[in-house]
Structure 1
Amino acid sequence: MAWNQPNNGGGNSPNNGQRPPEIDDFLKKVNQGFDKWFGGNGSGGSDLAPLKIGAAIIIGLTIITGFYRVEQAEEAVILRFGKYSSTEQAGLHWAMPLVDEVKKVNIQKVEQVPLNARMITEDTNIVEINLTVQYRIAEPVNYLLKVSEPEVTLLHATESALRHVVGGSKMGQVLNEGRATLARDIKPRLQSYLDSYKTGLQVTGVNILEALPPKEVKAAFDDVIRAKEDKERLKNQAETYANGIVPEARGQAARVIAEANAYKQEVVDIAQGDAARFNQLVGEYKKSPQVIRQRLYLETMESVMSKTNKVIIEGNGGNMVYLPLDKIMENSRANQPNNSTAHELNDAANTMRAPVRQGRGEGR
């Protein structure tokens, strides 16, 4: 029994096993459409039934296979008969098979290409530079249609930008402190080259991995580098020593100045005290000069003789006395740094002469 006959074992189903009228109308319209396509008259087209089924299958497969999905990080470029038609964003889309070609491009993925090249600096030296360029696809249409090999174009543009920047820098700058500046100058120049070529690429970063002199002169260059490092090391050591010794010297100088000022003040105070004492003696000396002279003499001899070795000889004795002069002189020399007898005697004599001279002057 055919599947579309009334009693096909589904008597308990709604409509007594018959199809809904909407489905019948739809199938009838489809059948009429196939009759028109294949020259049928709408009735008795049983000979064309296999052909109709095949055409329906082909159309169904065509519709199904035309669907495609674009991910969030992608854009799809549609080419119709090889020419650009449109650009689709993320989502589900349909393209006509055999007519439209869909090319998906990841616009968020960052790629990188390495480059190792020898360049001539401004001071006519050769350096070997190893770098990497990070990029992403910013304009899928230009990336797919404007340039046949965008990555190769990127390498050539990078080499050109590197040559221009290195050619304007000295070797010392490139090899030492100028790497960050070198990468910063290369990036905008490289991007301008890529934009002029319409590659659709956007440079996200330039990293200078190595900048070395050629192997033939590397040993000599290393010697220069070591000499510069030694220079900096010695300079730092000298600065460290200076930072330690200068404050110490300043402290010692301040201490010596303070001691000198204290000694100065002490000497001034002693001199002022002596002057005041002598001023007091002047009045007493005017009253009794002989007594004052005798007292000054005795005080002076007391202060002088108390610091020396003394030998007392009885004047009336007739015995010969042995004086140990060598021992006395030795003791005198030993005590000379601390007790200068000659100077003290001289000072005492001057002290005694001063009132006498003053008295003579007043007597005249």
Structure 2
Amino acid sequence: MRILDGLGQRIRLAMAGNNPWGSGGDGSSGSGDDGDNGGGDKPKGPRNPWLPPGSGGKGGDGRRGPNIEDIFRNRGPEGPRRQGSGGPGGPGFRMPQRPGGKSWFPVLVVGIIALGLLATSVHLIGPQQQAVVKTLGDYTRTLDSGLQFTAPFPIESVEVEDVQGVRAVRIPGNDTQVKLILTGDQNLVDLSYIVRWNIRNLSDFKFRVVDPIETVNEVAEAAMRASIAEKQLDETFSGQGRAAIELDVRERMQRTLDNYQAGINVLGVEIEKADPPGQVVDAFRDVQVAEQNADAARNQAQGYAQQVLAQAQGEAEAFDKVYEEYRLAPEVTRQRLYYETMERVLSNTDTTVIEAQGVTPYLPLPEIRRRAQQSQPAATVTAPEGQ
């Protein structure tokens, strides 16, 4: 009980501003830093460690007891408050005050908030772009190109998208991948193609399908397989067949995407490569060479047939004309035909047969003519000697 009474007395002295650690008269409560001086005016005992030297008391270096209000006044949530940023006694930073003594901090906060609201309310949309507006997360309207205004975020949010730019997707994604498709004649063809598209309806594009790009890929592959299944293998290699396939794939894709309400416009499909599978490419090339040779022979035969047919038609027309003449004068026409036929036959032979009385049946007229031509230069040369 005595200990508690003594402790309570010291706490009361501390709150009254007196030193609880020594007496000012007899110095019987212990010796301190000033105990060897023996002065009666200076307090003895340990000093208060919370106060700087000379902050109170009698004699200049005595220490005043801490006041509980001063302790909590100089403290805050972050710890003991400092008097200045430049050290003891240095000046601290203070925000400039408005006329009237009020702080500029609330005005600065309000200005920053207003600037943020203005930045989220004004939108400059490009000439090839459109934007969808969502009010509290729900779609409300579509904005065209130009300077547009909306409610600030988070009340309304804006998503801008390029709707006129052409987008391309290549199937398969790179040259190392193989895309084998079955043709109508049960053959396999390795195809790679490009699909070009853009956005027709931005709201449908954003909110009707989960992944529009993946949807385009899947629809393109399904349309290509369906179109190739209706064609022969040779049609996929020819230029005219490719054009028909590209047009058919584009129409199939557009119908499917319109049924999905995807808001996508298919601009075109271009087949880059149509080759046989790599395992049979050598055999396929041999088959192609054989087909080309067969086509060449077939074309040559058709040309010869057309030539013979034209010649036969010409001869038939000539015979019709001769027949008309024969009907008018049969005997004369018969004799003329005989002479023309003999002339055409005998003009290509060296033997001449004459059937007449008193004439040699066989006359080698071409041989005689040839001998005469050979002897004529010799007679021309020997003529001066005879003179």
After TM superposition, is the score higher than 0.5?
yes
Alpha-carbon distance change, 63 to 335 in structure 1, aligned in 2, over 3 angstroms: closer
> 1:196-207 counterparts in 2 under 5 A?
196-207=259-270
Tell whether the 8 Å contact from 2:120 to 2:153 is kept in structure 1 after alignment. no
SS in 2 for 1:148: coil
1:291 aligns with none
User: C-alpha separation between the residues in 2 aligned to 1:230 and 1:214?
Assistant: 23
Equivalents in 2 of 1:211, 1:113: separation in Å?
17
SS for the counterpart of 1:178 is helix
Task: Identify if the C-alpha distance between structure 1 residues 139 and 250 changes in structure 2 by more than 3 Å, giving closer, same or farther.
Answer: closer
Q: Which residue of 1 aligns with 2:170?
A: 114
Residues 159-238 of structure 1 aligned to structure 2 (within 5 Å): 159-176=221-238, 178-238=241-301
User: 2:248, 2:357 → 1: CA distance?
Assistant: 89
Q: Is the 8 A contact 2:121 2:153 kept in 1?
A: no
Higher helix share: 1
Q: Aligned residue pairs: how many?
A: 237
- CA-CA distance at 1:234 after TM superposition: 2.2
CA distance in 2, matches of 1:332, 1:190: 91
Structure 2 unaligned residues grouped into runs of 5+ = 1-98, 173-178, 337-355, 366-387
Whether 1:69 aligns to 2:131 is no
Instruction: Pick one of 78, 84, 103 that aligns with 2:133.
Output: 78
Kindly report which structure 2 residues correspond to 1:1-364, keeping only aligned pairs within 5 A, or say none. 46-47=101-102, 49-64=104-119, 66-99=121-154, 100-116=156-172, 117-176=179-238, 178-252=241-315, 264-266=330-332, 308=358, 331-334=360-363
Q: Deviations over 1:83-115 (max 9, x none)?
A: 323211112112344313221111111111111
The structural deviation recorded for 1:135 is 0.6
| Aligned-pair CA distance for 1:141 | 1.8
Output the CA distance in 2 between the equivalents of 1:200 and 1:268: 86
Q: Percent identity?
A: 25
Shift of 1:183: 2.0
Equivalent residue, structure 2, for 1:328: none
Provide closer, same or farther for how the CA distance between residues 201 and 253 of structure 1 changes in structure 2, counting only shifts above 3 A: closer
> 1:51: how far off?
1.9
Distance 1:120 1:145 in 2: 35
Q: Distance in 1 between matches of 2:228 and 2:292?
A: 24
CA drift of 1:214 comes to: 1.0
**Separation in 1 of the partners of 2:320 and 2:210?**
86
Shift of 1:134: 1.0
1:4-51 CA distance string (max 9 Å, x none): xxxxxxxxxxxxxxxxxxxxxxxxxxxxxxxxxxxxxxxx96515542
The CA deviation string for residues 53-74 of structure 1, in whole angstroms up to 9 with x for no partner, is 5413532453255311112221
1:158 Cα deviation from its structure 2 partner: 1.3
1:200 shift after superposition: 2.3
- What SS does the aligned partner of 1:133 have? strand
1:130 positional shift? 1.3
Distance 2:131 2:335 in 1: 104
Deviation (angstroms), 1:163: 2.1
Secondary structure in structure 1 of the residue aligned to 2:127:
coil
Distance 1:242 1:124, change over 3 A: closer
After superposition, the CA RMSD in angstroms is 3.4
Partner of 1:355: none
Alignment partners' CA distance in 1, 2:180 and 2:219: 15
Residue in structure 2 matched with residue 323 of structure 1 by the alignment = none
Instruction: Give the whole-Å Cα distance in 1 for the aligned partners of 2:191 and 2:265.
Output: 22
Distance (whole Å) between structure 2 residues aligned to residue 250 and residue 60 of structure 1: 95
* Cα displacement (A) at 1:206: 1.4
Name the SS for the 2:165 alignment partner.
coil
- Which amino acid counterpart does residue 80 of structure 1 have in structure 2? T
Distance of 2:333 and 2:255 partners within structure 1:
85
Tell me: higher relative CO, structure 1 or 2? Use CA pairs within 8 A at least 6 residues apart. Answer: 1
- Secondary structure of 1:234's partner? helix
Partner amino acid for 2:236? V
The one-letter amino acid paired with 2:283 is: A
